[in-house]
Amino acid sequence: NKPIIYAITPTFSRPVQKAELTRLAQTFLHIPNFHWIVVEDSSSKTKLVTRFLENSGLIYTHLAVITPPNYKLGRTDANWKKPRGVEQRNAALRWLRENLKPTDNGIVYFADDDNTYSIKLFYEMEKIKKVGVWPVGLVGGLMVEKPICDNVTNKVIGFNAGWKPDRPFPLDMAGFAINLRLLLEHKDAEFSYDVEGGYQESEILRQIVTRDELEPLADCCMKVYVWHTRTEDPKLKMEQLLIKKGRRSNI
């Protein structure tokens, strides 16, 4: 009786979007007990994402909610200035609370659209009673950022984070998942714009769990099953020239 893995993915329109979603979908297709919650950062659902999901072969829920303009990261803003995905992740949490009940067996994971996920990560998540944690590759200025796990007690005894190590939970969004029951019990727990950069993970976790309750997974946090990869913006100089002439390559 496996839990259903609910993966929440905020996503926004840009040249690489379909490529990112394709890479994710083809990983997720390997997971039988999987439900994808895709939340577009857009005032309504786009055709591209709608058609993509229809043809994906996955079980999914498609939502759309736009980031308020005053919170939207500008093209020239440094990327740590404003949090991304807050509105979208909260909309997904609302959907879970409105559509699922405490007896439903589920795990909730925040899966950004540009990261790289091993199938093994999802098998690990199935063990989670409250909140599971594990290493994340290529984040925080490190090859691997991870909880420090005591292999005698199998407990989290610290974190190796180099970036803002004083955070209540110095973890990346990709480095934990939550038992659905906990999110239904703490029905007001959500992400917030009113926190310092890099504190979104701490914000949600402090509302539902304590540090000593964290469950280290992935071999006592010795294995890396997810990487915080970031995709370079493609150079589209030629495309822009075409567009000026009223044409484009993708029609």
Residues near Mn ion, by CB under 5 A: 112, 114
Which residue's CB is nearer to Mn ion, number 114 or number 126? 114
User: To 5 degrees, how large is the angle CA 76–CA 62–CA 28?
Assistant: 90
Closer Cβ to ligand UDP, 179 or 200, answer by number: 200
Q: Is 88 within 8 Å of 72 (Cβ atoms)?
A: no
> Is 114 a binder of ligand UDP (CB under 6 A)?
yes
Residues in region 118-177 near ligand UDP by CB under 6 A:
none
Q: Which is nearer to Mn ion, 16 or 208 (CB)?
A: 16
Our measurement of the distance from residue 5's CA atom to the centroid of its chain's CA atoms, rounded to an integer in Å, reads 12
Contact criterion met (CB below 8 Å) for 65 and 41: yes
Burial class (CB in 10 A: 0-12, 13-18, 19+), 166: exposed
Q: How many CA atoms lie within 13 A of 35 on its CB side?
A: 17
| Residue selected from 5, 7, 12, 92 as contacting ligand UDP according to rule CB under 6 A | 12
> Closer CB to ligand UDP, residue 115 or residue 179?
115
**Is the CB of 113 or the CB of 215 nearer to ligand UDP?**
113
Q: Does 41 bind ligand UDP (CB under 6 A)?
A: yes
Q: Which of 40, 201, 203, 215 is catalytic?
A: 201
20 is catalytic: no
Identified binder of ligand UDP from the candidate list 5, 6, 10, 167, rule CB under 6 A? 10
- Interaction pattern, residues 200-239, with ligand UDP; x per rule: CB under 6 A: ------------------------------x---------
CA distance 29 to 58: 6
d(CA 173, CA 109): 9
Query: What is the x/- site pattern for ligand UDP, positions 62-91, by CB under 6 A?
Result: -----x----xx-----x----xx--x---
- Crossing angle of helices 17-28 and 47-54, in 10° steps, is 20
Please provide residue 179's backbone torsions phi and psi, each rounded to the nearest 5 degrees. -65, 130
- Please check whether residue 97 is in contact with residue 180, taking contact to mean a CB–CB distance below 8 angstroms: no
Minimum CB separation from ligand UDP for residue 229, in Å? 8
Looking at the annotation, which residues are catalytic?
201
Interface residues with ligand UDP (CB under 6 A) are 9-12, 41, 67, 72-73, 79, 84-85, 88, 112-114, 230
